[in-house]
Structure 1
Amino acid sequence: MFGVVIRFFDRIVQRYLPDAFIFALLLTIVVFVLGLGLTSSGPMDMIQYWGGGFWDLLAFTMQMTLIVVTGYILASTNVMSTLMKRLALLAHTPGQAVVLVTVVASLACLLNYGFGLVVGALFAKHVVRRVPTVDYRLLIAAAYSGFLVWHGGLSASIPLTIASEDHFLVESLGIIPVTQTLLSPYNIFIVATLIATLPIINYFSLKSIKHKTYIDPLFLETELKNELAVTKDKAATPAERLENSHILSFVIGGAGMLFVVFHFATNGLDLNINIVNFTILFLGILFHRTPKRLLQSVNEGVRMQAGIIIQFPFYAGIMGMMVASGLSDKIALWFVQISTETTLPFLTFISAGLINMFIPSGGGQWAVQGPIMIPAAIELGADTARVAMAVAWGDAWTNMIQPFWALPVLAIAGLKVRDIMGFCLILLIWSFIPISIGLLFF
């Protein structure tokens, strides 16, 4: 039965799911029509909301672009490449390969979501060189599946936001420490269950595939040559000596790492996306040892960014329509109206999963849902911390079928969204169970 379901979803997705960019265009039309039908907004209002919000994610777009570029820079160094190759030696069979990639990606995303996305995809490419008979599509889906746990980990935007002193809901919600959110029994149960079971689900998915997709050996050979293509030209001129200077990289890289140490000494374990990018970049500068080698790696990494650069503004436009028209408020309020003290966290999770399809940003989603769900929780006497985490888990849950966050992984892997989404649908269905149990019964 499991195999039948896997093959059914894979066939449907391969046949009907368009490219991720087309998916973003279709979502734009859907939100436009819903805004006209469910709110008082007119056609020109929706057009204005769309255009007005189109560039609101420019800073975030650059952050995510740098996540892929800096991750590629670090992973292509001899130091990191050697580490990943040695870790990949643990996999001897396709099943072991899928399990290993799932575990590594999950633990990396638990530490930081941006780091985890890049590490998972890059590690999968090292593993497939070790075990070329593994289904490549499923291996990349396994790398992306680790992203399910990010909002229960150290870079979770919502619990970290409400634990700060100046968050925008502090007057009604107060300060909620991470002991009541990330370290709560229900969150630990959800995270532990997912990390334990995702490798099993992916393993059985592999066993259920009849026609496997193997990566082209020529692609692997080309990729390996690109990684090892370190120019060793003699530095004949002063300019070339600077380009190949170990001292210059050591001074700049060392200064960057001093800042990283100062940041964590001053702010504690503040793993925001900027400090992660900064750390990875300057480690890359140190490990590449010369500016020339670094720039060679940058040129390779930048080639992967087309999907992110063109699609993120469209999601910003979708978010603009959802928020400005009041459509997101209507969806959230409908779930509030049918909730009780016990069911509010669960129904909040469902509503957050739905809204995440149109606003695939944890921070942006909290800005939309928080002002609605927290007053409702206070009025019903529900656990406000649990309700906040319900929004977080709803955001993480439907990322499995929302290609927004898969773009960095797909860019590194060289795949299309339809290649992995059939497997991700199974993960979506399964992850619903432990998340729901944690929110309802713990």
Structure 2
Amino acid sequence: MDHSQNILQRFALRVSDWSEKWFPDSYIFALLGVIIVAIAALSIGAPVQDVAISFGNGFWSLIPFTMQMCMLIIVGYVVSVSKPVEILIRKMAKIPNSGRGAIVLVATVSLFISLINWAMSTVLTALLVIALAKRKELNMDYRAAAAAAIIGMGATWALGISSSAAQLQANKASLPEPLYNLSGVIPFTETIFLPQSMIMTAVLIIVSIAIAFWSAPKGNSIKTIDQFDIQWDEDKEQKAENTPKRPGDWLENSPILSILIVVLGLLWMFNEYTKSNPIIAISSLNTYNFIFLMLGIALHGTPRNFLNAVAKAVPAVSGVLIQFPLYGSIAFIMTNAVNSADLSLSHYIAEFFVSIATKETFAIVMGIYSAILGFFIPSGGGKWIIEAPYVMQAAHDLKVHLGWSVQIYNAAEALPNLINPFFMLPMLGILKLKAKDVIGFTVTQLIFHLPLVLFLLWILGRTLTYAPPVFS
């Protein structure tokens, strides 16, 4: 490893140690966000009563979207831990012939799976790292492999079909009314399926894989799993009794009910995709979750296996359940609490960004801001609810393509995931590591990604023109 890389990793570890000691749980940042926005609304002259009313009215405004996000996480986990996927992981683990090749494989899987389901990517790649680590002959650096497992979350997830912001904007039923009035419905064809967006995605995949390869330690710098004193109980999970003792036991352990439900689901999906444009159909978050739910039921075979997987997945949604109501309140305070001039906080923020940005610099200014805020509010969908009112207002004022404005947010918002422990938690829990073990490698990715993403957002955005919002 070269000298500069050692310095960078030492710096990253110090930052990680500091953040682990001083940074509170992300829930605290959500609480602080409500208080800060409330104070800011009061400072522009909004009455206290209006701020309080906006807080209460907005608290439950995101219930449909909250449930959708919880289901996305659960079904992604359920699919990842199914037996067929486990067999697939074992087969993939046999592919590489070297430690660095194994790290490249993990990075590649992470980048591509995250385009489909970000929750599934973090779980599936962690399980792949374990399978590869058990191949002692590879001499794979366990830290670098773990870091590669999270690359998709920092590079491509928000540019794929599980993008919270793109899903939200494509679904009128999920959009808070103030945001709908600003942006209208923006279909996938104007966000993630834009040719410019797909070009950016392809570039990020190539660069991320290259960095994962060249930053992987060699020789004596390699730290394998054996040096972490990590052990797993090999296949010692308690299995449910398969011998039926009562009718209920037989139904739980029989695939018959699962098969019937999946057949009904397939018939519904066939009808859904034949009566409308498939791209429009999949842009519905309900349809998207339905597909993965049916897939999870099918892959687990019996209701008991499926329920066991769901039970393991549920704890991962606690942050979404408790924080999204606060994000809804923040959005309402910013847009509904107005002063005597009938102006909201979001209006003043948008005015500020319009004053320091031009149509040419909008992508860079908003990208930097979104990336910084993303470290403190680690939630793609929840943060978009907060940012969207003034981002879309500024886009209107500067005549920036509305769909590309969503992609500016998406690409920049993903960047802090490379160093934010929040989204690393599922992966780190499975691999039994700490954030400081991997942060040195993810910081290396971030240093390259930040200028590259801002440049791509700027240069590709120049090829798009503004169009008024579409209301359906």
Q: TM above 0.5, one fold? A: yes
1:404 to 1:277, Cα distance in 2 relative to 1, 3 A:
farther
1:214 match: 225
- Identify the residue that residue 244 of structure 1 maps to in structure 2: 253
Indicate yes or no: 2:139 matched with 1:143.
no
Q: Deviation digits for residues 311-357 of structure 1, max 9, x if unmatched?
A: 75246436634762576665554332111221112212222223334
Q: Does the CA contact (< 8 Å) of 2:26 and 2:422 recur in 1? A: no
Distance 2:263 2:70 in 1: 24
Rounded Cα–Cα distance in structure 1 between residues aligned with 2:169 and 2:435? 33
Q: d(CA) in 2 for partners of 1:336 and 1:301?
A: 43
Corresponding position: 1:153 with 2:151 = no
Structure 2 match to 1:345: 363
**Could you tell me how far 1:99 is from its partner in structure 2?**
1.0
Match of 1:2 in 2: 5
Conserved 8 A contact 1:157-1:362: yes
Give the drift of 1:197: 1.3
CA, structure 1 residues 125+344, in 2 after alignment: closer, same or farther (shift >3 Å)? Answer: same
- Aligned mate of 1:191, from 185, 194, 201: 201
TM-superposed deviation, 1:103: 0.7
CA change 1:339–1:72 in 2 (3 A) is closer
Distance 1:121 1:42 in 2: 50
Report matched runs for 1:155-174 at 5 Å. 155-159=162-166
List aligned pairs for 1:355-366, cutoff 5 A.
355-366=373-384
Matches of 1:238 and 1:374, distance apart in 2: 56
Deviations 1:289-316 (CA, angstroms, capped at 9, x unpaired): 33333334444444xx1x6415752464
Equivalent residues of 2:350, 2:393 under 8 A apart: no
Read off the aligned partner of 1:251 and give its amino acid letter: L
Q: Post-superposition shift, 1:280?
A: 3.1
- Aligned equivalent of 1:110: 115
Candidates 78, 81, 85, aligned match of 1:76:
81
Counterpart Cα distance in 2 of 1:321 and 1:375: 17
- The separation in 2 between residues aligned to 1:180 and 1:70, in whole angstroms, is 26
Point out the more displaced range, 64-73 or 196-205.
Answer: 64-73
Query: Given that residues 366 and 408 in structure 2 are in contact (C-alpha distance below 8 angstroms), is that contact kept between their aligned partners in structure 1?
Result: yes
TM-score by length of 1: 0.80
Post-superposition offset of 1:196: 0.5
- 2:16 matched to which residue of 1? 13
Q: Secondary structure at the match of 1:17?
A: helix
1:432 and 2:443 correspond: no
Q: Is contact 1:353-1:398 (8 Å) kept?
A: yes
Aligned mates of 1:70, 1:332 — CA distance in 2: 37
Offset of residue 107 of structure 1 = 0.7
Q: How many residues were matched structurally?
A: 437
Partner residue of 1:395 out of 413, 431, 434: 413
1:20-419 equivalences in 2 (<5 Å): 22-25=25-28, 28-29=31-32, 32=35, 36=39, 40=43, 62-130=67-135, 133-147=139-153, 148-159=155-166, 178=188, 181-207=191-217, 210=221, 212=223, 214=225, 221-222=232-233, 224-226=235-237, 230-231=239-240, 233-267=242-276, 268-269=278-279, 270=282, 272-302=284-314, 305=315, 308-310=317-319, 312-314=321-323, 316-317=325-326, 320-321=329-330, 324=333, 331-419=349-437
Q: What's the CA shift for 1:9?
A: 0.3
Would the alpha carbon gap of residues 119 and 324 (structure 1) be closer, same or farther in structure 2, given more than 3 Å must change?
Answer: same
1-structure distance, mates of 2:357, 2:54: 30
**Shift of residue 219, structure 1, vs aligned partner:** 5.7
Contact 2:16–2:435, Cα closer than 8 Å, also in 1: no
User: Using the alignment, how far apart are the partners of 1:187 and 1:434 within structure 2?
Assistant: 14
CA separation of 1:10 and 1:106: change in aligned 2, threshold 3 A: same
Residue 439 of structure 1, CA deviation: 2.0
Q: 1:257 to 1:116 in 2, by over 3 A?
A: farther
Aligned counterparts of 2:130 and 2:426: Cα–Cα separation in 1: 14
Q: Within 2, Cα distance between the matches of 1:330 and 1:223?
A: 58
Distance 1:26 1:160 in 2: 24
Q: Is the 8 A contact 2:354 2:397 kept in 1?
A: no
Residues 28-57 of structure 1: CA deviation (Å, up to 9, x unaligned)? 447745764796189999898778766666
- 8 Å contact kept, 2:26–2:378: no
Q: Is the 8 A contact 1:158 1:388 kept in 2?
A: yes
Whether the 8 Å CA contact 1:39–1:327 is kept in 2: the answer is no
Contact 1:106-1:146 within 8 A present in 2 as well: yes
Structure 1, residues 404-433: CA drift from partner, whole Å, max 9, x if none? 444444444444444444433333332112
Q: Is the alpha carbon distance of 1:310 and 1:108 closer, same or farther for their aligned partners in structure 2, counting shifts above 3 Å?
A: closer
SS in 2 for 1:123: helix
